[in-house]
Chains A and B, each alone.
Chain A
Amino acid sequence: MSHVATVKVTIQDLDALRAACKAAGLEFREGQKTYRWWGTSVGDYPLPEGMTVADLGKCDHAIGIPGNDTSYEIGVVRRGTSYILAWDFYAGGKGLEKVAGKNCGRLVQAYSMQVASKAALKSGYRMTGTKTNADGSVEMVFVHA
């Protein structure tokens, strides 16, 4: 390996997020301005970075479990040129965690896969393989076409 870079992922591409929702078994709710949560902040956990108490429950889009009207939802909150994902994780978010993963990890991983694939293909690469490791990490391999 000649060069290795570690990147902290931020949500910037809504098309990729929409595709990631589909891949993860979630539904992207375009333009939904509120997301389902407990409803009141009790102050037992830190707020998502970039959000205040007044921001809780409000969003630019939402993500939820298809056909499920009771589980909590994920708020997609615009902040400048990127987005924050906000959700109430208490008690597993009433089923949200089972689908989106702990800390929405499954959804964010699917998002990263979408973004990396798009960027690699745009740069003239083609995917030759994907594997999921025992620790849950995913490796995607591309070669230059």
Chain B
Amino acid sequence: MHKLTVKISPDGAKTTVGVSGLAGRSCTDVTKAIEKALGSTESDAKTAEFNQQAQVQQKQGGVS
């Protein structure tokens, strides 16, 4: 089970959308709908957990 956290600034002007418990590109699919509904994405940071799947795929020789 993965978790989605939405944090909204006090002035409401900026929102941070984060996913935990999902590795790889599937987490960006999850947040894209929310980001688009809210407005325009200013920055996008992928963490070590995101890169886990990419590294595993590279070792196995697979590409998603």
Interface residues of A (CB under 8 A from B): 1-10, 12-13, 101-113, 115-116, 118-120, 122-123, 125, 135-144
Contact = CB atoms under 8 A, between A and B. Distances in A.
B13 interface: yes
Contacts of A13: 37
Interface residues of B, number: 44
B41 A105 contact: no
- Provide the main secondary structure of the chain A interface: mixed
B21 A2 contact: yes
Interface in B2-38: 2-24, 27-28, 30-31, 33-35, 37-38
Contacts of B13: 8-9, 103, 105, 108
Contacts, number: 160
Given A119-B37, A141-B6, A142-B5, 16 more contacts: A3-B18, A3-B47, A4-B45, A5-B41, A7-B14, A9-B12, A9-B14, A10-B40, A105-B12, A108-B12, A109-B11, A120-B4, A120-B34, A136-B10, A139-B7, A142-B6
Interface of B: 1-24, 27-28, 30-31, 33-35, 37-47, 49-50
Contact of A6 (B19, B22, B43, B46): B43
B33 to A, nearest CB: 5
A-B pairs, 4 with minimum CB distance: A108-B12, A136-B10, A109-B12, A105-B11
B10 A5 contact: no
Contact of B33 (A2, A6, A102, A123): A123
